[in-house]
Amino acid sequence: MDEVTKVFTQIPEFLEYLGPECAAAIANAAPNDELDLSPKFPFLCSRRYADLIKKAAEPEALLREILPTRDELASVPGFVDDPVGDLPAGKADCVIQKYDRRALIVSTATCGARCRFCFRKNYPFQNIPDVARQVSDWLDTHSDIWEVILSGGDPLMLGPGEFRDLVEAIAMHSSVTTLRIHTRLPVMRPDVVMQHFELLRELPARFECVLVSHVDHPDELDEQSQMVFGQLRFSGWTLLNQSVLLKGVNNNAGTLEKLSRRLFEQGVLPYYLHQLDHANGVAHFEVSDETAKELIKEIRTRLPGYLVPKLVREIAGEKSKTPIL
Ligand SMILES: *Cc1c(COP(=O)(O)O)cnc(C)c1O
Ligand code: SF4
């Protein structure tokens, strides 16, 4: 396998690649007896993310996002398999519409890596055959939809041909004026984002284009993410970021401040700071609303208003994300 595109699916091989210089951070993030070598939600990490860990100022923060621990086995009241009510909102197999005149597409089940706090970690993901046709059929009968959000999994993990088919199917529907992509690949697999670049560059001629990256920690940003964001911005994309507030990863004001500033240096504005969705197996990442509000209050004193993300939670059945004030 090509070294750049390599992914790790086996934890021992991944730990060996990180090497002795990461041993202390690994012991910190997942002590030996806490590590879960065969987790139900599979382990997957890109070589690129491993390289980010190696050069991180806070490697244990990044490791906690990716290394499965036995904490995931805890059954905690209130933490459930479908925390955000995706299943009742599913209209077609891959279309989720919760909000007025806007729809979200679960484009693929594949991701560039598996985040341990994933809200869809227990979701009955299947790769959707012929997602373009399904979306097109659905849009045919929903001419009120003006924003289509490609989510997943990670939509940019579709092969270049499939991704193009999907976008072209959407473009056939003139009611859709905004195309939005939610992706973690500028962090996990910048090489894969670049595979789609020819198409990504053309899209702002057809839609208002918004890319919402998912970056949780300033050490996830480097010259490769900067290159990806720079090219998108130059092509006319609006760049926003959402993060999840995660205990042991970014639950302090200094980290959140640095994250906002580094995103801005790369041309990206902070959009949401999400309170954790209560999926089974993620309770150990929980930060209380009270602490979350304190953190926002603190970073508000350190940053211009446009670099302070909105603190929100998703509540199943609500008609929008719910601000935490
Ligand atoms: C989060 C979400 C959106 C987007 O909400 P915004 O507040 O516009 O970011 C749209 N559809 C679904 C199903 C969602 O879960
Ligand atoms: S990239 Fe998103 S969907 Fe994929 S594992 Fe991470 S949080 Fe879950």
pLDDT one-digit tens code per residue, 180-218: 999 999 999 999 999 999 999 999 999 999 999 999 999
**Above 80 in pLDDT, residue 219?**
yes
What number does the ligand 2 atom closest to the CA of 183 have?
1
287-324 pLDDT tens trace: 999 999 999 999 999 999 999 999 999 999 999 999 99
Evaluate: CB of 115 within 6 angstroms of ligand 2: yes
Q: Where are the domains of the chain?
A: 7-73, 90-323
**Model pLDDT, residue 152:** 87
Mean local confidence (pLDDT), 100-116: 95
| Predicted confidence band of residue 123 (pLDDT cuts 50, 70, 90) | confident
5-58 pLDDT tens trace: 799 999 999 999 999 999 999 999 999 899 999 999 999 999 999 999 999 999
Torsion sign across C-alpha atoms 322, 68, 11, 124: negative
Evaluate: CB of 118 within 6 angstroms of ligand 2: yes
Q: How far does residue 260's CA lie from ligand 1's centre (Å)?
A: 21
DSSP SS3 for 276: coil
| Predicted confidence band of residue 88 (pLDDT cuts 50, 70, 90) | confident
Whose atoms come closest to the Cα of 114: which ligand? 2
| Predicted confidence band of residue 3 (pLDDT cuts 50, 70, 90) | low
CA dist 122 → 7, 35, 149, 189, 314 (Å): 22, 20, 21, 23, 17
Which residue intervals of the chain are DSSP H helices?
Answer: 11-18, 23-29, 47-55, 59-66, 86-89, 131-140, 160-171, 185-188, 190-195, 197-202, 223-234, 253-265, 289-300
Determine the residue of 96, 98, 120 to mutate for testing ligand 1's pocket, defined as the one with the most ligand atoms within 8 A of the Cβ atom.
98
What number does the ligand 1 atom closest to the CA of 272 have?
9
Evaluate: CB of 173 within 6 angstroms of ligand 2: no
Per CATH, the homologous superfamily of domain 90-323 is Aldolase class I (3.20.20.70)
Please give all residues whose beta carbon lies within 6 A of any atom in ligand 1, as ranges. Answer: 96, 98-99, 102, 104, 149, 320-321
Query: What's the rounded Cα separation, in Å, for the pair 315 and 278?
Result: 10
Q: How far does residue 206's CA lie from ligand 2's centre (Å)?
A: 28
What number does the ligand 1 atom closest to the CA of 312 have?
7
Strand partners, 208: 178
**Model pLDDT, residue 90:** 76
**Model pLDDT, residue 132:** 96
The overall average pLDDT reported for the chain is 95
Output 128 or 232, whichever has higher pLDDT: 232
Q: How far does residue 98's CA lie from ligand 1's centre (Å)?
A: 8
Residues 6 or more apart from 307 whose CB is under 8 A from it? 260, 261, 263, 264, 269, 270
